[in-house]
């Protein structure tokens, strides 16, 4: 009688471990590794975007800005003076 009880208990323990515990562990490992991969991809994309922004900034900021009267770059514009 005790042999049958232990056999059933071991069978149920076996089914519990291989039917529930091990699949949960493998799934959690897969999810963790996928999350790390996604995080690495996001960091790479962010770094690439930062590099592109840094490369574009010198071109946009190096254009001369006209300050003051009569400082037009090519003489295309004439300062407006109000006539009374």
DSSP string, 8-60: HHHHHHHHHIIIIIHHHHHHHHHHHHHHHHHHHHHHHHHHHHHHHHHHHHHHH
Phi and psi at residue 69, in whole multiples of 5°? -85, 145
Is the pTM here over 0.75, yes or no? Answer: no
Is residue 67 predicted with pLDDT exceeding 70? no
Contact 51, 42 (CB under 8 A): no
Is residue 33 predicted with pLDDT exceeding 80? yes
- Assign 59 a pLDDT band (cuts: 50, 70, 90): low
Is residue 66 predicted with pLDDT exceeding 70? no
Residues in the chain, overall count: 84
Q: Percent of the chain at pLDDT above 70?
A: 79
- Assign 43 a pLDDT band (cuts: 50, 70, 90): very high
Given the structure tokens 């190096």, which residue do they identify? 62
């Amino acid at each position: 009688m005790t042999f049958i009880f232990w056999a059933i208990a071991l069978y149920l323990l076996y089914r519990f471990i291989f039917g529930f515990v091990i699949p949960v562990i493998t799934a959690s490992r897969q999810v963790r590794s996928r999350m790390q991969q996604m995080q690495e991809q996001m960091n790479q994309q962010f770094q690439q975007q930062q590099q592109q922004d840094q490369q574009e900034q010198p071109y946009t900021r190096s254009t001369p800005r006209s300050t003051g009267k009569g400082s037009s770059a090519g003489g295309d514009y004439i300062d407006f003076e109000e006539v009374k």
